[in-house]
């Protein structure tokens, strides 16, 4: 029987009181965004709100709990924009939406940072049994490569490899965790060229090999093209993530039919960018639709979450979606979310 795991992609919306408090503490200019050297007062405020979003996830009935990534002002570019050899300069549109991030211009070797590991260490003190429920979150190597600007390595293949090595070093320092989710929306939005796609599985494996936890490569904003999907399937990870909210989900099914998939899958069943709260019944129907389309395979595990990062959502809508996801996984009474 397939296990359903209720989780989230991470990069959660800031609690409402945090927005004003942190804006006042940090300032209102581009240079005031998180750099990894914030004051004790700012760090303390984030710690308080981190505990709040962890408590919210646990109360909603999730099986995997993220740190929340509330400090990630630059979304998936955060691990680089807090690095000492990176200049976060200029403002760039974040994929095809109305959010922006600072362009991480890499100007030196991408050696160890430890910023994300420190966040996870702090989160571990709050989460019940982190070894069994903590979900670490990072950008995948290709998406971080795609979001960054190389001003140091001078060669795309070398830069891609350096990004993978950097992320691997960060993962090696992580505290005990049950799952590692690697976000790879750029594989959909800006697929790798012929050279880089050949290096994709090795880059993912470089990162994934540094943890004993289950690794999920989560893609969204639509379906992968066939070439990218086929190469991603060569990566030694537990699960690939699929966006079941996107209108081209039939293309995802086509990829699975043609190239197969892993023994587990991550399903983006709730819309991370739309305030409409889907009922648990609707989410359950999306899961069952996916399973019905692939009758020859019974999955060991299905991770259920929003399709994209949910930081776009108001907090109350986000919490309602988490509760519906937990109900679709069978963790809480569906009537609670009706």
Cα 320 to Cα 337: distance, rounded to the nearest angstrom: 7
User: Is the model's pLDDT at 336 over the cut of 50?
Assistant: no
At residue 28 the predicted structure's pLDDT band, cuts being 50, 70 and 90, is low
pLDDT in tens, 287-311: 999 999 998 889 999 999 999 999 9
Work out whether the CA dihedral 293, 298, 303, 309 comes out positive or negative.
negative
pLDDT in tens, 189-248: 999 999 999 999 999 999 999 999 999 999 999 999 999 999 999 999 999 999 999 999
Q: Is 175 exposed, middle or buried (0-12, 13-18, 19+ CB in 10 A)?
A: middle
pTM confidence score: 0.95
Lowest mean pLDDT, pick from 90-99, 256-265, 284-293, 310-319 = 90-99
pLDDT in tens, 155-185: 999 999 999 999 999 999 999 999 999 999 9
Q: CA 217, 141, 175, 75: dihedral to nearest 10 degrees?
A: -90
Among all chains, which residue has been given the structure tokens 């240079």?
A: 31
pLDDT in the model for residue 217: 98
pLDDT in the model for residue 338: 41
Cα 243 to Cα 57: distance, rounded to the nearest angstrom: 21
Cα 138 to Cα 143: distance, rounded to the nearest angstrom: 10
Question: In the sheet that 149-150 helps form, which strands lie side by side, from edge to edge?
Answer: 86-93, 100-106, 149-150
Of 224 and 20, the structure prediction assigns the larger pLDDT to 224
What CATH number matches the domain at 3-328, 3.20.20.210, 1.10.357.10, 3.40.50.80, 3.40.190.10? 3.20.20.210
Secondary structure (3-state) at 50? helix
């Amino acid at each position: 029987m397939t296990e359903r795991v209720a989780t989230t992609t991470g990069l959660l919306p800031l609690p409402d009181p945090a927005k004003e408090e942190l804006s006042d503490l940090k300032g209102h200019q581009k240079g005031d965004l998180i750099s990894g050297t914030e004051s004790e007062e700012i760090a303390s405020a984030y710690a308080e709100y981190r505990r709040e979003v962890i408590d919210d996830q646990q109360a909603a009935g999730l099986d995997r709990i993220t740190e929340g990534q509330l400090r990630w002002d630059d979304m998936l570019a955060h691990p680089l924009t807090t690095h000492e050899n990176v200049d976060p300069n200029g403002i760039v549109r974040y994929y095809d939406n109305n959010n922006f991030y600072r362009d991480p211009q890499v100007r030196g070797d991408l050696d160890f940072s430890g910023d994300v590991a420190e966040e996870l260490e702090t989160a571990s003190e709050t989460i019940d049994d982190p070894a069994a429920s903590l979900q670490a979150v990072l950008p995948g190597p290709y998406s971080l490569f795609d979001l960054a600007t190389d001003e140091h390595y001078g060669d795309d293949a070398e830069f891609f490899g350096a990004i993978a090595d950097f992320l691997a070093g960060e993962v090696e320092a992580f505290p005990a965790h049950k799952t590692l989710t690697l976000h790879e929306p750029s594989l959909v939005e800006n697929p790798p060229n012929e050279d880089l796609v050949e290096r994709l599985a090795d880059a993912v494996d470089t990162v994934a090999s540094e943890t004993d936890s289950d690794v999920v490569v989560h893609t969204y904003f639509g379906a992968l093209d066939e070439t990218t999907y086929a190469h991603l399937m060569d990566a030694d990870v537990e699960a690939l993530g699929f966006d079941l909210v996107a209108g081209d989900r039939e293309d995802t099914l086509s990829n699975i039919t043609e190239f197969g998939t892993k023994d587990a899958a991550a399903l983006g069943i709730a819309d991370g960018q739309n305030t409409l709260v889907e009922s648990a019944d609707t989410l359950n129907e999306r899961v069952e639709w996916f399973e019905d389309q692939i009758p020859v395979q019974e999955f060991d595990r299905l991770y259920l979450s929003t399709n994209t990062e949910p930081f776009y959502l108001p907090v109350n809508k986000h919490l309602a979606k988490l509760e519906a996801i937990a109900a679709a996984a069978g963790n809480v009474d569906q009537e609670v979310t009706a």
